[in-house]
Chains A and B, each alone.
Chain A
Amino acid sequence: MKSPSTPNVTRRSFVVSAGAATVVPPAVALVAGSAQVAAAAAPHPAKVPTPTPAAAAASVPVQAAKPPKPEPTVYLFFNVAEVQFIEPACERLIPADESGAGALAAGVPNYLDKQLGGAWGAGERLYRSGPWIQGTASQGYQLPFTPAELFRTALRAIHTDLAKRGSPFNELSAEAQDDYLKSLEKDNHDLDGVPSGVFFDMLLKMTIEGFFSDPVYGGNRDMVAWRMIGFPGAYADYYEAIDRHGVKFEREPMSIGEDGHGHVHVHPEIPASVG
């Protein structure tokens, strides 16, 4: 994604200034010195109020997906040995590169920690009555472990395994880390009762969740993942934009935790729970 200040902005991009408080007539104007088109979203005919904090935030040009400032993570669930696996493993699953931050800078390990330490880790939304019979792939997860128990069990077995091999995960080269993760993914060896493939799948799924979910959950810091792909987040009124076909929509993404100044408050204790 390009910053609007970049001279080389594509003709197909425009910046939207939106918000119920900002009543601007529909306008399309060429910005001098560039091919950039600025457009303003007028209120749509239904005059549906947009009761969002960002409604008052007016227009903010989208910022490039630069790595957010590192924030120290206070681990509530993972112990020190577990963190030595989780942090580099998440970063190998979604590495930092020229497109933007990886899982580590995005705070994914923090997301995992808060999820596993909360209701989700304790088996929220998981039917937990036996008998425990292993079935077919079509029948899905049939282990008695909660996510927290599953991580704890698997991580302890991985720690023991790596200790035998001589190096903890965080001291392996990136290639060796990838090879080890692949062995967990494909070989499906036993981690004290947890098939390694089941653990790997849950780790990958939750890493992607943490990367792309709203920053209030403690990952996707500074909405880096949303900037990377151009997803505007919780912002959600495209009535005027939807029939500007093929035109890139550029707007600062919005979190559900934003105050009127565009600052995201992290609420790791917000449970993704039953309403």
Chain B
Amino acid sequence: MAQRLKEVDVVVIGVGMVGSILAKELAAAGYKVVGLERGSTRFTVPEFQSPGIHDELRFDVRKALMQDNTREPVTFRNNTSQTGLPVRRWESFLPGTGLGGSMVHWNGQTFRFQANDFELATRTRERYGKGFLDPDLTIQDWGVTYDELEPHYDRFEYLLGTSGKAGNLKGQIQPGGDPHESPRSRDYPTPPQKEHYSGALFRKAATSLGYHPFPQPSSNLSQPYTNPEGLKMNTCVFCGFCERYACEHYAKSTPQTFILPVLLANSNFELRTGCQVQRINLDSTKKRATGVTYIDNAGREFEQPASLVITSLFAINNIRMLLLSGIGKPYDPGTGKGVVGRNYAYQTMSTVASFFDEDVIINPFMASGASGTMINDYAGDNFDHSGLGFIGGAFIGAVNTNGRPIQYHPTPPGTPAWGKGWKDAVVKHYNHTIMFSLHGSSTSQKQNYADLDPTYKDAWGQPLLRITFDFPKNDLKMAEYVTARGVEIGKAMGAKQVVGSPRKGPYTTQIYQTTHNTGGTVMGNDPSTSVVNRYLQSWDVPNVFVIGASVYPQNASWNPTGTLGALTYWVADALKNKYLKNPGHLVST
């Protein structure tokens, strides 16, 4: 029997990036907020300290910071003719757990999407005509525009202290920045990080080919910074232990560095860790949430009543929370009806490996997670797709994130998997190879979705989320085309051997690609094709807001975190200035 707790104004499910920012905004505005975090409390000191944090086996291979998949995995299949089976070990993507969420183990690559991305369906139709798209694709406009989000992107970047170089200031193209970016109101708060040798070689080659290289925007900071919350951060020292690790130096922007100390000091906020939320509770009309039910680490069940419920979980967990709570109609791929789980998408990652002679010393272990040099000339709609048969693109970059040797020991094709031939190749190429990341967009299509698994359960007896996904043909064509451009850059760098690996199907859960799962609770202006409105408010239950990359109708050519930060402040603004003054539907249905 659940113990019923005292009602609060707001309950936030998941105290990661989104949850901690929104909780801070609402607590500062005078609302009583409870944050429920399933994982543990953790801070830069003592949890993230050296030397223990620099342990590749524990953090990279064994994935110590990730969601506990022994209790709460997902099931997966490539298509509906297969049976969904549990992903018994994480590999393809790595959702985190614990205070600060997945952002604790991110790489810090902090992009904005382009204006075009938010109106993708409309602009694709306008530029290429109605029949251009594969009819299976279900791409759509977001219901919010870049211009509306720009002030919120700006606020997020200044919260994090992001290091970069503007390419477009209020319409004026800036030398050294990305000329393709949509106009920004001011430059990044801190200058770019130092350039790694791989980036310098890339820059020279890309320039010689007529492209526009620029420093990757990084939230591993180039210099000390104090953010508008009054919190101080340090300079990144290129330790090479970034993604899959927490930062020991206060140099990677995470909730621990940019917001939590302020949030936790506010008496309007209460953090509860070890709380596994089972569902959002609805009243008898099913149109109003009454709070949430959770089970704590000791197995005790509680009901936390609240006037407003914010689910701010990692994308796939947001989808599951709505399905377990009966909020919104589940998507049926047979009929195309329903919305929850629809438009699940990902990221189409390809690579180019450039192998150099042994007199070219790369030092891959000197790295921050986001200090690459890259081009956007083949990202998004920055190139003419006429006659190419696909939409979308990828950034191409020399993004040298680490040289941790269990997982990083590049060898050319034809190298044996073991024995002396393998060992010789590992020794020969370890310090003389440059890897490009080709970070491709992901279209949504009818066949790809998420629902509740009919068979497999979590440790609390609830159905797992089942993901049905394979790469759309559109995206595989895109990967092929963009990878060929990456190979040209590798050759222009003077590499002895350049190997392009465009992403191929079928999608596999067994190879790490990226933790950029998107969609499933998408935003939009039409309730028949979206779960939440443009303010990320549930169409069905207006006192529930859903914030995560799960609201992206499809995924763009860049890492999703910057856009999620902008959406978070966009929602904070709507909550404080609209919803909480007059609770109800912010967009009429």
Contact surface of A with B, Cβ cutoff 8 Å: 12, 44-46, 48, 50-54, 92-95, 97, 99-100, 102, 120, 123-129, 131, 133, 135-142, 178, 181, 185, 204, 207-209, 212-214, 217, 225-226, 228-234, 236-239, 241-243, 245-249, 254-258, 272-275
Bound-state CA distance A243–B363 (Å) is: 11
Tally B residues with Cβ within 8 Å of A: 84
> In whole Å, how far is A142's beta carbon from the nearest beta carbon of chain B?
6
Residues on the A chain within 8 Å of B76, using CB: 138-139
Q: Which residue of B62, B194, B367 contacts A120 across the interface (Cβ within 8 Å)? A: B62
Residues on the B chain within 8 Å of A54, using CB: 51
- Is the Cβ of A127 less than 8 Å from the Cβ of B366? no
Q: What 9 pairs across the A-B complex have the smallest Cβ distances?
A: A46-B235, A236-B239, A238-B366, A234-B54, A256-B51, A272-B62, A213-B57, A245-B197, A229-B430
9 A-B pairs besides A245-B197, A255-B51 with CB distance below 8 A are A99-B423, A99-B427, A102-B423, A139-B76, A208-B406, A209-B57, A230-B430, A236-B54, A273-B64
Bound-state CA distance A262–B62 (Å) is: 26
- Is the Cβ of B82 less than 8 Å from the Cβ of A135? yes
Residues A212 and B405 in contact in the complex (CB < 8 Å), given A127-B69, A138-B509, A248-B363: yes
Residues on the A chain within 8 Å of B456, using CB: 129
Bound-state CA distance A45–B65 (Å) is: 30
Contact surface of B with A, Cβ cutoff 8 Å: 40, 42, 47, 49-52, 54-58, 61-65, 68-70, 73, 76-78, 82-83, 85-91, 98, 194-197, 200, 223-224, 234-241, 248-251, 359-361, 363, 365-367, 403-406, 409, 417-420, 422-424, 426-427, 430-431, 455-457, 506-510
- Is the Cβ of B88 less than 8 Å from the Cβ of A127? yes
Residues on the A chain within 8 Å of B403, using CB: 231
- Is the Cβ of A127 less than 8 Å from the Cβ of B235? no
Residues on the A chain within 8 Å of B455, using CB: 131
> In whole Å, how far is A17's beta carbon from the nearest beta carbon of chain B?
16
Bound-state CA distance A255–B50 (Å) is: 11
Residues on the A chain within 8 Å of B366, using CB: 238, 241-242, 249
Residues A141 and B237 in contact in the complex (CB < 8 Å), given A95-B423, A120-B62: no
> In whole Å, how far is B42's beta carbon from the nearest beta carbon of chain A?
8
- Is the Cβ of A138 less than 8 Å from the Cβ of B424? no
Residues on the A chain within 8 Å of B63, using CB: 125
- Is the Cβ of A238 less than 8 Å from the Cβ of B239? yes
Which of A185, A237, A273 has most B Cβ within 10 Å?
A237
Bound-state CA distance A272–B63 (Å) is: 9
Bound-state CA distance A99–B427 (Å) is: 8
Bound-state CA distance A229–B366 (Å) is: 14
Residues A137 and B430 in contact in the complex (CB < 8 Å), given A226-B405, A242-B196: no
- Is the Cβ of A229 less than 8 Å from the Cβ of B405? yes
